[in-house]
Homo-oligomer: A and B are copies of this chain.
Amino acid sequence: MEFYGAPMPAPNPRRVRIFAAEKGITLPEIPLDLRERDHKSPDHMKRNSLGQVPVLELDDGTTITETISICRYLDALHPEPPMFGRTPVEIGVIDMWIRRIEIQLAEPTRMFWRHAHPATAALVEQHVVFGESNRITLARAMDWFDCEIADGRTFIAGERYTMCDIAALTMIDFATLIGLDPVGNRTSVAAWHERASARPSAAA
């Protein structure tokens, strides 16, 4: 099994590293240099026709892309501790939170990065006014998220740290890095972010 990733600040490989650290799985990583466009090389395009990282290549040549999917595969192989839930309700609720984080919070972050950030200007056709509008979209979504987790819960789906916490942590840290302000003065988000960041896995 080979894991093709990229070092910080790439948020997606970091998700898999945090997941592996929480599981106690050793996942030797082959880092690609994204500034050198290694992820668009013919060799890597054979692994992932979208030219993205991370990719998990299995011994039979099967490749799994998309971070959450790689983690689901590893979770099925190494069920403890369960990061996607154990009972049907836990499975449904954790998945709901992964999707809410990705659609409500990560999408405006990605749209800002893609359409308004100078670092991507040479790579894609930007729509800057739209890109900038995602600051407001994200701020509203973070306000909503802050209310949702204000009921005293320790982690996003309850008392245990699960995949939706990893999705939120990596998204918030990346948004902060590119100049957005996802935490701001949102007290429940800030307290949760401190708890998640204090786990040894956050350094992955």
**In contact, B49 and A96 (Cβ under 8 angstroms):** no
Distance in angstroms between the alpha carbons of A56 and B133 in the assembled complex? 32
Total number of A residues with any Cβ neighbor in B under 8 Å: 37
Q: Is A201's beta carbon under 8 Å from chain B?
A: no
Contact of A64 with B92 in the complex, beta carbons under 8 Å: yes
**For the complex formed by this chain, how many copies does it contain in all?**
2
A99/B68 in contact, CB under 8 A: yes
Say whether A100 faces chain B, with CB atoms less than 8 Å apart: yes
Residues of B within 8 A of A100 (CB): 50, 65-66
Contact with B along A70-95 (1 / 0, CB 8 A): 10110011000000000111011101
- The reply to whether B76 and A148 contact each other, CB–CB distance below 8 Å, is no
Q: Which residues from B are CB-within-8-Å of A72?
A: 91-92, 95
* Residues of chain B within 8 A of A144, CB atoms compared: 49-50
- Asked if B125 and A62 sit within 8 Å, CB to CB, the answer is no
Complex: A91 Cα to B72 Cα, angstroms: 7
Against B, the Cβ 8 Å flags (1 = close, 0 = not) of A95-114 are 11001100110010000000
Most chain B Cβ neighbours within 10 Å, of A95, A133, A147: A95
12 sampled A-B residue pairs with Cβ under 8 A: A50-B144, A56-B92, A62-B89, A66-B96, A66-B100, A69-B95, A69-B96, A69-B99, A76-B87, A125-B133, A127-B130, A127-B133
